[in-house]
């Protein structure tokens, strides 16, 4: 009986170490390859998807065995950081919400609101949606900054001024987008 318990503990330890090695390898690819080549992002995405296919419920299993391992998985697979429901706060009217986006943060400072949304949404689709919707509401847009990972816009209508910051929250998965809307005037 003792041998079975020892063997069981040994198997659990080996599985945890293999998961850690897999996660460390994915983390290395995620941080190193995208900087070297555009194909690196695709390789890292495929690695994460395969890990999720091979180990369904990876995060839940990791929570059972090691909270440290669960935190590492959450760092590598950031979609787990999306809340399931809106946190407390309010919308900035009349700005519509992109379908599937969840309110992840809210702040009210000097009567000006800042709202952060996260969602499993394609980055470019979210930007295009807001360009169209804000134009339909009569807002004029101006690009403040732009890169492959984020874009910022200023929307004005009369004395009203809003700032939108779109970010690819992660290259893995590529469809995780974060949007920050800030009232300026």
pLDDT in tens, 52-64: 555 556 556 666 6
pLDDT at 27 over 90: no
Q: Is 147 exposed, middle or buried (0-12, 13-18, 19+ CB in 10 A)?
A: exposed
Which residue reads 């293999």 in tokens? 18
Q: Are residues 100 and 125 in the same domain?
A: yes
Six token digits for residue 26? 């994915």
Q: Which of 155, 182, 177, 181 is nearest to 101 (CA)?
A: 177
- Least confident interval from 6-10, 84-88, 105-109, 124-128: 6-10
Given 76, 97, 123, the domain boundary residue is 76
Given 76, 92, 119, the domain boundary residue is 76
pLDDT in tens, 92-144: 999 999 998 999 999 999 999 999 999 888 889 999 999 999 999 999 999 99
Rounded (5°) CA angle 66-69-75? 145
Q: Are residues 165 and 90 in the same domain?
A: yes
Is omega for the bond preceding 94 within 30 degrees of 0, making it cis? yes
Q: Are residues 23 and 66 in the same domain?
A: yes
Task: Domain count for the chain, please give it.
Answer: 2
- What are the C-alpha distances in Å from 44 to residues 17, 33, 40, 74? 20, 8, 6, 16
Instruction: Write down the pTM of the prediction.
Output: 0.58
């Amino acid at each position: 009986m003792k041998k079975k318990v020892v063997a069981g503990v040994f198997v659990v330890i080996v599985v945890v170490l293999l998961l850690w090695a897999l996660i460390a390898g994915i983390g290395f690819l995620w941080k190193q390859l995208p900087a070297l080549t555009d194909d690196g992002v695709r390789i890292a995405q495929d690695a994460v998807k395969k890990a999720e296919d091979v180990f369904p419920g990876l995060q839940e299993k990791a929570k059972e065995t090691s909270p440290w391992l669960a935190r590492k998985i959450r760092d590598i697979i950031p979609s787990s950081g999306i809340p399931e429901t809106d946190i407390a706060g309010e919308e900035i009217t009349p700005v519509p919400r992109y379908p599937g986006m969840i309110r992840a943060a809210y702040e009210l400072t000097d009567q000006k609101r800042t709202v952060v949304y996260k969602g499993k949404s394609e980055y470019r689709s979210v930007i295009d949606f807001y360009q169209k919707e804000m134009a339909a509401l009569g807002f004029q847009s101006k690009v403040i900054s732009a890169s492959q990972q984020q874009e910022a816009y200023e929307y004005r209508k009369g004395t009203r001024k809003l700032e939108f910051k779109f970010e690819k929250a992660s290259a893995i998965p590529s469809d995780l987008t974060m949007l920050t809307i800030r009232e300026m005037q």
